[in-house]
């Protein structure tokens, strides 16, 4: 069965600190996709990244970076030099090939304090 675990319920840091959000997943498939979504206070979940199971290269997009490690079934998300606008709930999700549903983690509420 598929499962996504985000063990950190809430994280609070001071602006400009680096912060890492953890995501651990379980799947029996060898081919799958992993996602991160951001939910700002406005409510709409915004797509951040999709990564397939064959591509273990780390990805960097501005202050955001993602570390995918199949050996530990983890897909962690790091924000460098955090800003107040990064405050949101972040969700990690998993989809297997052929499945139409995404399985979501419980979400991590990130608060960046000025």
Partner 1 sequence: DVKVTQSSRYLVKRTGEKVFLECVQDMDHENMFWYRQDPGLGLRLIYFSYDVKMKEKGDIPEGYSVSREKKERFSLILESASTNQTSMYLCASSLEGIRGYTFGSGTRLTVV
Residues that bind partner 1 (CB under 8 A): 6, 9, 33, 35, 37, 42-47, 50, 52, 91, 93, 95-102, 104-107
Least distance between partner 1 and beta carbon 9 (Å): 7
Least distance between partner 1 and beta carbon 11 (Å): 15
Nearest CB to partner 1, comparing residues 33 and 65: 33
Query: What is the rounded CA–CA span in Å between residue 95 and residue 6?
Result: 16
Which helix (H) or strand (E) segment holds residue 111: the answer is: strand 108-113
Nearest CB to partner 1, comparing residues 19 and 103: 103
Least distance between partner 1 and beta carbon 41 (Å): 11
Give me the helices (H) in the chain, please: none
Nearest CB to partner 1, comparing residues 52 and 111: 52
| CA-based torsion, 84, 11, 50, 106: positive or negative | negative
Other C-beta atoms lying within 10 Å of the C-beta of residue 1 = 6
């Amino acid at each position: 069965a598929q499962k996504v675990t985000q063990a950190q319920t809430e994280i609070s840091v001071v602006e400009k600190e680096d912060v890492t959000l953890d995501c651990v997943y379980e799947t029996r498939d060898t081919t799958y996709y992993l996602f991160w979504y951001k939910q700002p206070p406005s409510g709409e979940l915004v797509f951040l990244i999709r990564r397939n199971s064959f591509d273990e290269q780390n990805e960097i997009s501005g202050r955001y970076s993602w570390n995918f490690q199949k050996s530990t079934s983890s897909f962690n998300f790091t924000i460098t030099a955090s800003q107040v606008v990064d405050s949101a709930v972040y969700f990690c999700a998993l989809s297997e090939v052929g499945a139409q549903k995404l399985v979501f983690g419980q979400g991590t509420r990130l608060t960046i304090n000025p």
